[in-house]
Amino acid sequence: MTDERMLKSLGIDSIDDLFSDIPASVGIDDIDIPSGASEMEVIRKVTEILSANVTAYDHPCFMGGGVYNRFIPSAVKAIISRSEFVTSYTPYQAEVSQGMLQALFEYQSYIAELTGMEAVNSSNYDAATALGEAAAMCYRINKRKKFLIPQVINCDKRSTLRNYVKGIDMDIIEYSYDFDTGEVDLNDIMRKLDEDVAGVYIEVPNFLGVIDRQTVDIKSIIGDALLVVGVDPISLSLLKAPSSYGADIVIGEGQSLGSPMNFGGPMLGLFGCRQELVRKMPGRIIGLTKDAEGNRAFCMTLQTREQHIRRSRATSNICTNEALMAVAAAAYLAIVGRDGLQTIARSNMAIARKLRDALSSVDGVECSTLEAPFFNEFPARLPIKPEKMSKILLRNGIIGGVPLAKHVPEMGDCMLFAATEMVTDSDIDKLINIMGAIV
């Protein structure tokens, strides 16, 4: 009925007329998928397909490697379910978007406090793309074409980084680590440094969970190359802000801050830099300002760096980001607060040590591989192939650690175990019993 009225107002008989400019040669008759279903059918079918998944909701989970099974306070979920947030677009119209803008400014402020970077953007896709963007940003700043990264790194990050610097032909060079401690080999960094190095990347804690004691010395040996630091935001409640040891750019994975694991997405790419470098930074940035009456207000700022204005000369192509996850991070940090965040970090460390001691008691499992202090994860050498161990654990209702072969080939006989506040004593007992029975 309505459609007929609308067609009539346009002076046409059929909707087909509105498509008359599509040449017959590119026309199609149908889409080759099933016809529609009711809401009830859809909910049943999707639920059924997904029921084949083994969840960390029902099973002990010792997996980390950048994504962590953490407790998310119910209030965080309630806050980011507000449909005024969920169903809004990027806050182009500041006057009607103050809620999202302030929430994102608060997110930026929390990350600024944790990292010491005064300029923080309102999110990248994840830590891997943030690293890629950071390397490209180093090039924009000093026009140099080498970027140093640790040999011990998540392989997805390595691969993503290589793709992000393809356009600028940047060389990614890996520096070695101390096999005994898991800490970086400063001499190797010095060997690989030259005047063409744009930046040096280091992770604290690193991919193996190691809190590298030499972190504070790196800035002094890399000359005027930029220091890019990758962080775990939970650990920053106990660890120094990277600004204090000379970081120019800080990136990280923010999933731990109130977002679920979601099979790896959406994640939350943290990105901050020293205030002086902000014009070279990628991504959307929220700034504090005032309205026509002098009242406090927020808006997106420095948009002239962005693709919709600068097109091929933009600092990045990023447009859609992970804003809602950034709001979740702000809500999470607001709810746990300073004391809660420290409690979580400390409990993670304590549980990880309990887990390490328990694993060490299993015959053939070797946990004391690295001598350096660690945060909430550590590698353990297993007497059987870690990939095989994963499957056995899974069949016994346990989500084990991350097998390291793909990431650190020389540690192919190791599994990376992580502990969060979600891991209980009985989870550890269950793991030890099953592993004890296998090996």
Which positions from 307 through 366 interact with another protein, judged by CB under 8 A?
Answer: 307-314, 316-325, 327, 330-331, 333-335, 337-342, 346, 349, 353
The stretch near another protein (CB under 8 A) out of 140-148, 222-230, 265-273, 363-371 is 265-273
Starting at the earlier edge strand, list the strands of the sheet with 402-403. Answer: 377-381, 414-418, 402-403
Specify the residue, 22 or 190, whose C-beta has the smaller distance to another protein: 22
Residue 154 DSSP class = -
The stretch near another protein (CB under 8 A) out of 127-135, 171-179, 189-197, 225-233 is 127-135
Nearest to 282 by CA among 139, 91, 99, 428: 139
CA torsion 71-76-77-81 (nearest 10°) is -160
How far from 13 is each of 2, 7, 17, CA to CA, in Å? 13, 6, 8
Shortest CB 258 distance to another protein, Å: 12
CA distance 211 to 141: 29
The stretch near another protein (CB under 8 A) out of 19-27, 189-197, 361-369, 426-434 is 19-27
List CB contacts of 48: < 8 A, sequence separation 6 or more.
none
Determine, following the binding rule CB under 8 A, whether residue 98 of this chain makes contact with another protein.
yes
Determine, following the binding rule CB under 8 A, whether residue 28 of this chain makes contact with another protein.
yes
Which residues, numbered 200-229, are part of the site for another protein (CB under 8 A)?
Answer: 204, 211, 213, 215-216
Q: Is 272 exposed, middle or buried (0-12, 13-18, 19+ CB in 10 A)?
A: buried
For another protein, the binding residue among 13, 71, 96, 436 (CB under 8 A) is 96
Specify the residue, 79 or 152, whose C-beta has the smaller distance to another protein: 79
Q: What is the chain's Cα-based Rg?
A: 25
Determine, following the binding rule CB under 8 A, whether residue 266 of this chain makes contact with another protein.
yes
Shortest CB 375 distance to another protein, Å: 9
Among the residues of 116-210, which ranges form H helices?
Answer: 127-142, 155-164, 186-192
CA distance 251 to 273: 9
Contact assessment for residue 100 and residue 85, using Cβ atoms and an 8 Å cutoff: yes
For another protein, the binding residue among 60, 106, 182, 209 (CB under 8 A) is 106
Nearest to 435 by CA among 409, 408, 417: 417
Shortest CB 336 distance to another protein, Å: 9
Specify the residue, 88 or 151, whose C-beta has the smaller distance to another protein: 88
**Binding track over 407-436 against another protein, x by CB under 8 A:** ------------------------------
Specify the residue, 61 or 195, whose C-beta has the smaller distance to another protein: 61
Shortest CB 201 distance to another protein, Å: 16
CA distance 221 to 132: 23
Shortest CB 380 distance to another protein, Å: 16
Which residues, numbered 166-195, are part of the site for another protein (CB under 8 A)?
Answer: 166-169
CA distance 306 to 314: 5
What residue type is 26 in one-letter code? Answer: V
**Binding track over 55-94 against another protein, x by CB under 8 A:** xxxx--x-x-xxx-x---x-x-xxx-xxxxxxxxxxxxxx
Which residues, numbered 235-254, are part of the site for another protein (CB under 8 A)?
Answer: 236-241
